[in-house]
Chain A
Amino acid sequence: MSTTVLIAIAVVVVLLVAVGLALVVGRRGRGTSAPGADRSLEDGSGNLDLGSRSSTATMERDAVPAPSDVDVAEAGSVDVVEPPVEAPEPDVVEEPATKPSFFERLGKARSAFTGYLGDLVGLSRIDDDAWEELEEALIRADVGVTTSMTLIEDVRDRAKEASAEDGKQVLALLKERMHEELADKDRSLRIDDGETNVWLVVGVNGVGKTTTIGKLGKRLIDEGHRPLMAAGDTFRAAAAEQLTMWAERSGAEIVRGNEGGDPSSVIFDGVAAAASRDCNVVLADTAGRLQNKSNLMDELSKVRRVASKDPGHVTEVLLVIDATTGQNGMSQAKVFTEAVDVTGVVLTKLDGSAKGGIVFAIESELGLPVKLVGLGEGVADLVDFEPTDFVDALFE
Chain B
Amino acid sequence: MFESLTDKFEGIFSRLSRKGVLTEADVDEVLREIRVALLEADVNLSVVKSLRGRIKERAVGEEVHKALNPAQQVIKIVNEELTTSLGGETIAITYAAKPPTVVMMAGLQGSGKTTSSAKLARWFKSQGRNPLLVGADLQRPAAVEQLRTLGGQIDVPVYSEPSDPVTVAGNAIEEARSTGRDIVIVDTAGRLAIDEELMEEVRRISEVTSPDYTFLVVDAMTGQDAVNVAEAFHDKLALDGVILTKLDGDARGGAALSVKEVVGRPIAFAATGEKLEDFDLFHPDRMASRILGMGDVLTLIEKAEQTFEQEEAEAAAAKMLEGQFTLDDFLEQMQQLKKMGPLTNLVGMLPGLPKEMRDVEIDDREVGRIEAIIKSMTLEERSNPDIIDTSRRTRIARGSGTNPTQVAGLINQFSEMRKMMKRFGGMGTKKAKKNRRKDKKGRKGKGGGRVTPKGGQPGGRVTAGGRVTPKGTKSTKAPLMLPGLDRLDDGDLERMAKELDGFDA
Contacts and interface: CB of A to CB of B under 8 A. Distances in A.
B342 A57 contact: yes
A286 to B, nearest CB: 14
B110 A349 contact: yes
Interface string A1-22: 1111111111111111111111
Interface stretch (B15-23, B208-216, B304-312, B383-391): B304-312
B106 interface: no
A81 B40 contact: no
Contact of B316 (A1, A18, A140): A18
Contact of B366 (A6, A40, A45, A53): A6
Overall SS of chain A's interface: helix
B310 A25 contact: yes
A112 B228 CA distance: 10
A256 to B, nearest CB: 12
A206 B114 CA distance: 11
A204 B249 contact: yes
A214 B147 CA distance: 21
Contacts of B317: 14-15, 17-19
A26 B109 CA distance: 44
Contact of B458 (A14, A26, A144, A293): A26
Interface in B164-208: 192-194
B372 interface: no
B435 interface: no
Contacts of B2: 330-331, 334
A10 B330 contact: yes
A14 B333 contact: yes
B26 interface: no
B478 interface: no
B50 interface: no
B410 interface: yes
A245 B142 contact: yes
Contact of B457 (A23, A80, A139, A326): A23
Given A328-B252, A330-B1, A21 B304 contact: yes
Contacts of B277: 43, 46, 50
B330 A80 contact: no
Contacts of A35: 90, 92, 281
B29 interface: no
B92 A13 contact: no
A20 to B, nearest CB: 4
The size class of the interface chain A forms with chain B is 35 or more
B360 A2 contact: yes
B343 A81 contact: no
A163 interface: no
A41 B483 CA distance: 31
B347 A7 contact: no
A267 to B, nearest CB: 20
B313 A21 contact: yes
Contacts of A329: 221, 223
Interface in A86-113: 108, 112
B149 interface: yes
B81 interface: no
Contacts of B148: 73, 77, 238
B485 interface: yes
B38 to A, nearest CB: 9
Contact of B413 (A4, A43, A140): A4
A382 interface: no
Interface in A22-71: 22-27, 30, 33, 35-36, 38-40, 42-47, 50-51, 53-57, 60, 64-65, 69-70
B339 interface: yes
B192 A13 contact: no
Given A352-B192, A358-B223, A242 B140 contact: yes
B235 interface: no
Contact of B339 (A45, A47, A82, A293): A47
A200 to B, nearest CB: 19
B485 A19 contact: yes
Given A241-B145, A292-B250, A354-B223, A10 B504 contact: no
Contacts of B346: 9, 13
Given A6-B366, A54-B340, A81-B142, A146 B501 contact: no
B229 A353 contact: yes
A17 B313 CA distance: 6
Contacts of A205: 110, 112, 246, 274
Interface string B363-381: 1111110100000000000
A189 B251 CA distance: 30
A11 B488 CA distance: 12
B94 to A, nearest CB: 11
A294 interface: yes
Interface stretch (B56-64, B65-73, B96-104, B294-302): B294-302
Interface in B324-382: 330, 333-334, 337-344, 346-347, 350, 357, 360-368, 370
A141 interface: yes
The interface centre, meaning the residue of A85, A245, A328 with most chain B CB atoms within 10 A of its CB, is: A328
A246 B147 CA distance: 18
Interface string B406-450: 000110011001000100000000000000010000000000000
B280 interface: yes
26 contacts: A4-B503, A5-B497, A7-B500, A8-B500, A13-B346, A16-B350, A18-B313, A19-B437, A20-B485, A26-B458, A46-B277, A54-B364, A82-B162, A108-B194, A140-B224, A142-B223, A204-B246, A238-B142, A239-B142, A242-B142, A326-B254, A328-B223, A334-B2, A352-B194, A354-B223, A377-B109
Given A46-B277, A330-B2, A352-B108, 11 more contacts: A3-B504, A16-B485, A21-B310, A21-B314, A53-B339, A54-B340, A69-B152, A81-B162, A238-B145, A328-B250, A353-B232
Interface of B: 1-2, 36, 39-42, 45, 90, 92, 108-112, 123, 126-127, 138-150, 152-153, 160-162, 192-194, 219, 221-226, 228-229, 232, 246, 248-252, 254-255, 274-275, 277, 280-281, 297-298, 300-308, 310, 313-314, 316-318, 320, 330, 333-334, 337-344, 346-347, 350, 357, 360-368, 370, 409-410, 413-414, 417, 421, 437, 457-458, 461, 482, 484-485, 488, 493, 496-497, 500-501, 503-505
